[in-house]
Amino acid sequence: MQSGVFVCLVALTLLWPVRAPGQNREPGPSNHSSASPVGRWKTLDDVTGKATSVVSIGEKDGKLYGRIEKLIDPDPKDPDPRCDRCGGELKGRPLIGLRILWDLRKVGDEWSGGKILDPDNGKVYKALIAVESDGKRLKVRGFIGFSLLGRTQYWLREE
């Protein structure tokens, strides 16, 4: 068992890309921009690619926080949707106004160290975000443990 874990760690170390400090993570036109993630962002459905909500991101004391500001094309049968799958103090809270991002701190060209809530399943993940495409796109990554085990979404800046 221990040798299997050791082999996995060695493989990850060898496969992990090594970059010099300040070197971009992605080549090409979608390089990270130094633009701030503060503002309004349209979230996109992973399956359909359609905009589902607008999230407002703000900064306080050097940390980022984000709330759902509005739902795009909400279900007319459910005029006040709530986070039924959320746990603790978030359970049953209205989606509009719900805090889904918190405590992200700037580290280089990214913001990390905070959390993100997925209101669809009620789970909270570690989060990493980065502004791309000259401030028009936000890379949002939620993960468990380390960033390799997670999911990435791209949000579009609200014009």
CA distance 37 to 48: 24
In a domain, residue 117? The reply is yes
State residue 75's pLDDT score.
92
In a domain, residue 80? The reply is yes
State residue 39's pLDDT score.
97
In a domain, residue 134? The reply is yes
In a domain, residue 118? The reply is yes
Number of domains in the chain: 1
CA distance readout (Å), 144 to 21, 87, 89: 25, 17, 21
Q: State pTM to two decimals.
A: 0.76
State residue 110's pLDDT score.
96
In a domain, residue 27? The reply is no
State residue 145's pLDDT score.
82
In a domain, residue 48? The reply is yes
- In the chain, the amino acid numbered 24 is N
Residue whose entry in the numeric block shows the structure tokens 């760690």 = 9
Residue whose entry in the numeric block shows the structure tokens 């399943």 = 121
State the CATH number of the domain containing residue 149. 2.40.128.520
State residue 79's pLDDT score.
86
pLDDT in tens, the chain (159 residues): 433 333 333 333 223 333 333 333 333 333 334 489 999 999 999 899 999 999 999 999 999 999 999 999 999 999 899 999 999 999 999 999 999 999 999 999 999 999 999 999 999 999 999 999 999 999 999 999 877 789 999 999 997
State residue 159's pLDDT score.
79
State residue 28's pLDDT score.
33
State residue 148's pLDDT score.
78
How far is Cα of residue 99 from the mean position of the Cα atoms in its chain?
12
In a domain, residue 37? The reply is yes
Sequence-ordered list of residues with C-beta below 8 angstroms from that of 107, at least 6 positions apart, any chain: 113
Helix (H) or strand (E) run with residue 12 in it: helix 2-15
State residue 146's pLDDT score.
73
Q: Which domain holds residue 67?
A: 32-157
In a domain, residue 84? The reply is yes
Helix (H) or strand (E) run with residue 130 in it: strand 123-132
CA distance 146 to 48: 27
CB-CB neighbours of 56 under 10 Å: 17
HSE value, Cβ hemisphere, 13 Å, CA-based, for 131: 19
Dihedral sign, CA of 137, 143, 146, 148?
Answer: negative
